[in-house]
Structures are given as C-alpha cells and as structure tokens.
Amino acid sequence: MSAPVALSAVLALGGMLIFGPTACTTSGRTSIDDYFRRLSQADDRFDEASTGAESEEYESVREFMLEVFIPLYGDYLADIRKLSPPPAFDTAHQELLDANTDMLALLEDSESRYASLRSDIELGEFFDEPVVAAANDRTIRACSALRQLAYENDIVVDLGC
C-alpha cells in the first residue's frame, strides 16, 4: 500500500480561494472593499476546509489528485468566473483566472503521471518539475498582484499566495 497523500502536499499552488456570492454595485460590479472582503472570507473558508481534508488519507496520489484536488480546483475556477471585479481590477482578476485555468489544464493533462507517484514527497517533486513550477509561479504572481492592489487601496487582505 502506498503512503497516504495529504491535501497539504499541493496547497503550495497559491491563490486557492473559494468565493461566496458577491455584493454588487448598481453596475453589477463588486465594490473594491467588498471584492477583497469576499476574497479574504473565501480564503478563510478554504483554510478551514483544507484543514479537515489534510487528516483524510487516500490510497494513492492518483486517487487524491483525481477525486479530491482537481475537482476542488475546478470548483475554485467556477467561483472565480462568477466574480465581477471593479474595473480597476479587471486585468489582475483575469490574470488570476487565466493562470489558474492553465494550471488546472496542466494538472488534468498530467493524469498519467499520478499513477507512478507513490508518496507526498514524489508529489512534491512533481510540483517542482519546471513546467509545473512555472505554472504554479504564475498563479502565485497573479494572486500576489491582487494582494498588492488591495494594499495600494488601503485594504487589508490575507490571501494565501
């Protein structure tokens, strides 16, 4: 039997936020404060959910990736697509969406690799491979850009970048 795989092995992807319904202005766009408040709340919810998932054990890396992580990532992207950021944040928001969409596609296309992985250590090595690491770095940069925009607008936000 292979070693159990924990969700914490892949949380380094950064930008992992689950969004709730957004409060909108009359234009249908979310206000700046509310946009970042929702991001922060979502990040907190994700942290709580991932803490519970970390204690769950899976028979294989493949099972974990296909049955847990990739669906969770897909849900995350669906939630990002639901947001209507303030106009000043459209570009940064779109980059967050694009970076994470590309990362999810890469993970889905790597399914054959998961069968050969036997441990959290090997999964970590997979995420250190140049193509995967570059995609992950892009997600982190996109999340960090949004965090910087919040800072520049005097909004305190704790995103998991």
Residues 121-144 have pLDDT tens digits of 888 899 999 999 999 999 999 989
139 falls within a domain: yes
Q: What is Dmax (Cα atoms) for the chain?
A: 56
Place of tokens 């959290």: 120
Mean pLDDT, residues 92-114 taken together:
91
Rounded to whole angstroms, how far apart are CA atoms 17 and 4? 25
Write out the two tokens for 20.
């709730």
Evaluate the CA torsion angle 63, 138, 55, 52 in order and state its sign: negative
Q: Is 90 helix (H, G, I), strand (E, B) or coil?
A: helix
Mean pLDDT, residues 91-106 taken together:
94
Mean pLDDT, residues 87-115 taken together:
91
159 falls within a domain: no
85 falls within a domain: yes
More confident call, 132 vs 12: 132
Cβ neighbourhood burial of 17 (10 Å; 0-12, 13-18, 19+): buried
157 falls within a domain: no
Q: What is the pTM of this model?
A: 0.75
161 falls within a domain: no
Q: What is the pLDDT of residue 48?
A: 63
26 falls within a domain: yes
2 falls within a domain: no
Place of tokens 């990736």: 65
The count of structural domains within the chain is: 1
Domain span at 48: 7-152
63 falls within a domain: yes
Place of tokens 């690799």: 113
pLDDT tens string 30-75: 688 888 877 777 666 666 665 555 535 677 788 888 887 888 778 7
Cα 92 versus chain centre, distance? 15
